[in-house]
Homo-oligomer: A and B are copies of this chain.
Amino acid sequence: MANILFIGAGMMASALTIPAAENGNKICLAGSPLDDEIIAEIERTGYHKTLKRQLPQGIETCRADGIAGRISDADLILCGVSSFGVEWFKNEIIPLIPERTPVLAVTKGMMQDGDAFISYPEYYEKSTGKRISFNAIGGPCTSYELADHDYSAVTFCGRDIETLRTLKSYFATAYYRVSLSTDIRGVECAVALKNAYALAVSLAIGMSYKREGREFEHYNSQAALFGQAIREMTGLLALFGGDASNLMLGAGDLYVTIFGGRTRKLGTLLGTGMPFNEAMDALSGITLESVVIAGRTAEALRRFAAAGKARIEDYPLLCHVEELITGKSLVNVPWEKFEYEFIRK
């Protein structure tokens, strides 16, 4: 099928080598400068130490210093860096990519750009004078479960539907189902926002633990926060320029993130009343994109509000999350601010 150069050997990129290899693609998994240990272990045993799974036989590997020599052979660059690797990818890798070679990124996030709040593919586009096709993957898919062949539904987004169809042909399998969208902003916004709101919904888990004095979950309060999250995400998606139909991606991704790992743990600790600094200490060593995206989204909201395009009071849950992660408040969910009166015209 294709020569695919994976750049960044994080969990999601590495899990994607599995459907890609099953489809007969030729794969090289290249570590970022932070991935030397991961690559070394794969080279010794084929085992990915953070994904905790065997990778497919027959894939090649290389270190960051070998990337330059491999780019010209690639039919596709899979950008596998986390949001903390975006600047490295932009500065060190994009200048090496020929215009004929599309990029498909797994990085989730948004960033401020002048008056707009844009996705990473858009940021990469603006950063280079070259006409490279930047595409991305959104939707609910954790790397562990993809590696375990659980059914997953994702959306590839990019400007050109034909390019997207080609990229889909490299990765789609019976268990990895791929939809396509030319609404890059909408897809990326929906799946980035869910990180901030997964933190918010998880607060109810910690509140329940605290009240019960044991690890016992109530769900009414989680559902109340989930509903409020959907409401605020709907508003933000429109505000930032995404099509409303992408809410299904955000909702599915919110659902899976509440059950998965790091963001849930942080929200749960904050929900028990723990200050942010202590919670971060307790979770030391893990990267928390949810904190980054929550802070950036709140900042973007303030800018839109200052320009008269949004009302901050329509987003009380996001504002409370920001109070928590900036240490301005301990958990104190503003339930009264979620109440509304809707009068149908």
Contacts and interface: CB of A to CB of B under 8 A. Distances in A.
Interface of A: 139-142, 145-146, 148, 150-153, 155, 161, 174, 177-183, 186, 204, 207-208, 218-224, 226-228, 230-231, 234, 243-245, 247-249, 251-253, 255-256, 259-260, 333, 335-336, 338-344
Contact of A219 (B145, B181, B243, B244): B145
B344 A153 contact: no
Contact of A228 (B161, B248, B342, B344): B248
Contacts of A234: 245, 247-248
A153 B218 contact: no
Given A141-B220, A179-B340, A342-B245, A151 B335 contact: yes
A186 B252 contact: no
A342 B224 contact: no
A14 B37 CA distance: 59
A13 to B, nearest CB: 16
B219 A259 contact: yes
Contacts of A253: 223, 227
Contact of A256 (B182, B222, B248): B222
Given A148-B218, A151-B220, A227 B204 contact: no
B252 A344 contact: no
Contacts of A256: 219-220, 222-223, 226
A158 to B, nearest CB: 11
B186 A219 contact: no
A259 to B, nearest CB: 5
18 contacts: A140-B224, A153-B338, A174-B335, A177-B338, A177-B339, A179-B338, A186-B344, A219-B255, A219-B259, A222-B255, A223-B256, A224-B252, A226-B255, A227-B248, A227-B252, A230-B247, A230-B251, A234-B248
A140 B341 contact: no
Contact of A260 (B181, B219, B221): B219
Nearest to A151: B221
A146 B256 CA distance: 25
A117 to B, nearest CB: 17
A227 B139 contact: yes
Contacts of A204: 151
Contacts of A231: 245, 248
B178 A339 contact: yes
A208 B152 CA distance: 13
A224 B344 contact: no
Contacts of A252: 223-224, 226-228, 230
A146 to B, nearest CB: 7
A72 B181 CA distance: 59
A324 B124 CA distance: 47
Contacts of A244: 244
Nearest to A184: B344
A107 B248 CA distance: 27
Given A153-B224, A222-B255, 9 more contacts: A140-B227, A150-B218, A151-B333, A174-B335, A186-B344, A224-B252, A226-B255, A234-B247, A243-B344
Given A140-B224, A177-B339, A186-B344, A230 B248 contact: yes
